[in-house]
Amino acid sequence: MLPFPVHPFRPRLVDALRGYTRAQFAADAGAGVTVGIVALPLAMAFAIASGLKPEQGIFTAIIAGFLISALGGSNVQIGGPAGAFIVIVYGIVERYGLANLLISTMLAGVLLFALGFLRLGALVRYIPISIVIGFTNGIAVLIALSQVKDLLGLRIDKLPADFFSQIAVLAMHVHTLNPTALAIGLACLALVVVWPKSYAMPAAPATRLDRLRRHAAQVPGTVIALAGATAVVATFGLDVETIGSRFGGIPQALPSFELPSFSWTSAKQLVIPTVTIALLGAIESLLCARVADNMADIPRHDPNQELMAQGVANIVTPLFGGMPATGTIARTSTNVRSGARTPVAGLVHAATLLAVVLVAAPLAVHVPLAALAGILLFVAWNMGEWHEFARLKRFALTYRTTLVGTFLLTVIFDLTVAVEVGLILSCVFFIWRMSQLFRAEPLDDEALRRAAGEAAPPGVHVMGLYGSLFFGAVGKVEAIVEALPAGTRVLVLECQRLVQLDTTGLDALTQLLHALRKRGVALRLAAVNEQPRSLMHRSGFDALLDEGAVAPTLAEALQRARAPGRSA
């Protein structure tokens, strides 16, 4: 038996299949087929933008999508390659190579599983929203920038991973612009933007146009754009780069199992990439699951089970050449809107993708990369929460600094640096805000009469402590001695509103006690709450005080201060 609590491995699918009906399967199957069709162009686009082959994205969507739905803790979450990973994966492949990407993904899977197994899934929610918005918007900018090459049809062998280097290389090759590729990319982008997104029928009697709109909305705009662009390129033989010209097409077969070469020397260099993949995967999947919970009347997700499923998926998928996977908001939202209510829809989504690969893979050779670039620009725009920049002036300077700083660091450096600095800034600002909440204020006669029913005796000075006395606020305690009025013989600290005390704060009280004794002033404490009182007793601080120096109420502390022989 383990000496610490662990989370039982119980996939949501087990509970969902109890009392499962044909009607539920029909709804889940329809949603799964719809999401599978939506996932196809996105999986290829995410893989290509990450510097990988398109089939690696498809295989990831199939394998990881199946495992996340079968083993996960959400009823409707759809897993697979995500846009948020594009920048991370591209940088890892550039710096460490494909083999080390696979190893890093597997190690991240182990870390994700451990987080869920040890019941640490809730910790991901403690990441401030300003950091999440900052790096999400930063990633969206980088995704959009990475698609400029294919959108314009520029003749560039390989884009660098650095932001400024990318801009410089794009500017150097802008003269190689292909107008045909640009027209295809912009047309696909426009089509995805204007394509109907709603399945709902109007309340008024439906017209023929309304019915046509509803039927059109049942087919995803990304699929229409991709199919249309592919048909045009194949029919007219347009001079644009396609999946066939760059990658030779997509294999019409299942991926083969292969263990990546592993060495501890390489693993030691992959600590930061591994943590980055795990952290981003955990944040994306749990945020996605929370969004899905609010979209439909379904049981709330189990964050720890979801992380364990994400871990298994990221351990298994690299064995078949796949890329990192997580929960995806766009596909999960489509799944819910299509009527899915159980993980069966995710299994059907994976089966749909597998059927497409086995049947229609040869058609992919004509898919223009400019069309995928247009689709990814739409994904990048939807991914960012741009309205938050317009709302920044409504929030405090600390929030604005963290959000904008994380955004800029993500764009200019990388996600790992951005999150690290963002968390440090958040901690510093939190400490600063908490220190501002702590106060040590003198109580005048009127306040004392309200609290204790009497004024302070001559030579007795009363101060109230408010908030949390911790390491960030000890300076205010150290200033108490210098602020004492002349002739003070007893200092009473009223602690009724002192809600928390840490060891550094206790040390500050100890130093205050010694400084007061050097001046011949006695220290009294009144109305000490449970947590501070417990720490004072366990540390031996109460033994340093005079007998009767800790009173249960302020009134009794004042009475004791009046008593002769008990004031020093």
Which segments in the chain show pLDDT lower than 70?
1-4, 198-206, 563-568
Q: What is the pLDDT of residue 3?
A: 64
In angstroms, the CA 401 to CA 426 distance is: 9
Q: What is the pLDDT of residue 450?
A: 81
Q: Which of 380, 273, 377 is nearest to 324 (CA)?
A: 273
The amino acid occupying position 148 is: V
CB 350 within 8 A of CB 325: no
In angstroms, the CA 480 to CA 314 distance is: 56
In angstroms, the CA 188 to CA 225 distance is: 5
pTM: 0.81
Q: Which residues contact 430 (CB under 8 A, 6 or more apart)?
A: none
Q: What is the pLDDT of residue 568?
A: 39
Q: What is the pLDDT of residue 198?
A: 62
CB 284 within 8 A of CB 327: yes
Q: What is the pLDDT of residue 204?
A: 57
Q: Which residues contact 469 (CB under 8 A, 6 or more apart)?
A: 438, 477, 498, 500, 501, 502, 505, 508, 509, 532
- What is the torsion angle, in degrees rounded to the nearest 10, for the CA atoms of residue 83, residue 89, residue 94 and residue 99? -140
In the chain, what are the domains?
Answer: 22-153+164-240+265-393 (no CATH), 438-562 (3.30.750.24)
CB 9 within 8 A of CB 305: yes
Cα 135 versus chain centre, distance: 9
The pair of three-digit structure tokens given for residue 354, joined into one six-digit string: 């597998």
Q: Which residues contact 204 (CB under 8 A, 6 or more apart)?
A: none
In angstroms, the CA 366 to CA 357 distance is: 15
pLDDT in tens, 37-78: 889 999 999 999 999 999 999 999 999 999 999 999 999 999
